Amino acid sequence: MGQLSKEIKDFVLLHADEDPKKVALKYASCNIDLKRALQQIEGQQKARKKIPSWANNPDIIYPIGLSMEQCSSEETGQYKQDIISSGDSMVDMTGGFGIDFHFLSKKFGKAYYVEQNRELCDIAEENFKALEMGNATIFHQTAEDFLAQNNSSFDLVYIDPARRDANGKKTVIPSDCIPDLTSMLPQIAERCKRMLVKYSPMLDIAQAIEDFHKYIQAIHIVATNNECKELLLELNCEKNGFCEPVIHCINICKSGRECFSFTYKEENERKTAYANGLGKYLYEPNSAIMKAGCHKSLAQVYEAKPLSPNSHLYTSDNLIDKFPGRSFRIIGACKFDKKEYQKTFGGTNKANVSVRNCPTTPELIKKKLKISDGGTFYLFATTLSNKEVILIGCEKN
């Protein structure tokens, strides 16, 4: 692919904030490589939100839209960098656009980027120069070929298997991803001290523990702005036999990182008492915790009482500082009835409606109560431990 010409760079700079579709129509007959220029405009616009430090570098080259969609964000790349130890050498066996490789490589003397797509390798070569990554070496190979042809050992192997099977269908099962790490694991484990593996957040955690039980040390469920993005597996290739992995629930938000850690052994052994009624405050765990299912551990650590076994809402009389999720001040509660709602909450005709363990939907609730979306009022429809369905009205803390 090579470097961008001065003409393309100037064109991209001139139209950086414009709609690529409109630019394509307006300049259909221009003398530059318009397709490549549009790809750069679109990629840079996405990078401003996803990878701001790269977007500020005018020499970065962007790949096709699919590669931009699939790559990690700067926030999750930085998180990976923070959880790994420094070392002499690392290899990323599924290099892609190189975001994770860029952040991980900063902690190693030598860093090897392996990618089977020729165009992505060409882009990486230019970008690593622009980012002054002098420790990076690029290999245009599959992960399997790299292992077969390279006898080196590494402190860290990072791998992000493609979540599509041999027929191109989406999958989250590790053995169906490409490459199939479950079959390659013994071969890779002989060549490294640690592995960090990225899978879809849709992967069942029990499945991950079963597939990697011999080496698994920790699991990181990573969300950004309360949306689960990644499931990271930390594998210790120097240990022998299974030990209970620590589960880290991470939500990266504007205020920082919400972190909660536990083990399933702790979760299974813990007891919890359900709330007899509502306290002054209501809590909704973030998406990483909801994915992990650590509801008893959360209740015990934060001294919050769950409303029922399946509602996954908590209450307390005293405000809990830094609860990992959303916290609300309870205004009132009533039965799921229009007259009761009007009596309890007066003329409130706008609400942000959520449903937890309740046989209805936010749309049906709004229709029945004749309210619309929006405002600063929050309404939760849920079921208490005594099976009573109620509406809880709140405002954010």
How far is it, in rounded angstroms, from Cα 40 to Cα 48? 12
pLDDT of 234 above 90: yes
How far is it, in rounded angstroms, from Cα 39 to Cα 32? 13
Arithmetic mean of pLDDT over the chain: 93
Indicate if 69-243 has the same CATH topology as 6-62: no
pLDDT interval class at 66 (50, 70, 90): confident
Average pLDDT over residues 50-58: 93
Phi, psi of 4 (to 5 degrees): -80, 135
CATH topology of domain 69-243: Rossmann fold (3.40.50)
How far is it, in rounded angstroms, from Cα 148 to Cα 169? 27
More confident residue, 169 or 145: 145
179 cis-preceded (ω within 30 degrees of 0): yes
- Give strand ranges (E) for 205-359: 216-224, 227-236, 246-253, 256-262, 281-285, 305-306, 314-316, 325-335, 350-356
Is the torsion defined by CA of 123, 125, 126, 130 positive or negative?
positive
For the whole model, what pTM was predicted? 0.93
Q: Which two tokens stand for residue 176?
A: 């169906």
pLDDT of 166 above 70: no
pLDDT interval class at 165 (50, 70, 90): low
The answer to whether 338 and 383 have CB atoms below 8 angstroms apart is no
At 312, which amino acid appears? H
pLDDT of 167 above 80: no
Angle at 307 between CA 304 and CA 310, to 5 degrees: 115
Average pLDDT over residues 343-365: 92
Q: Spell out the domain ranges in the chain.
A: 6-62, 69-243, 275-396
The answer to whether 292 and 218 have CB atoms below 8 angstroms apart is no
For residue 272, count CB atoms less than 10 angstroms from its CB and return exposed for 0-12, middle for 13-18, buried for 19 or more: middle
pLDDT at 240: 77
Average pLDDT over residues 322-341: 95
More confident residue, 6 or 246: 246
Taking only the tens place, the pLDDT of each residue in 275-318 is 988 999 999 999 999 999 999 999 999 999 999 999 999 999 99
% of residues, the chain, pLDDT over 70: 98
Kindly report the CATH number that applies to the domain delimited by 6-62: 1.10.10
Q: Which residues of 98-118 are buried (b: 16+ CB within 10 A; e: fewer)?
A: bbbbbbbbebbebbbbbbbee
Taking only the tens place, the pLDDT of each residue in 4-31 is 888 999 999 999 999 999 999 998 888 8
Place of tokens 């009132």: 332
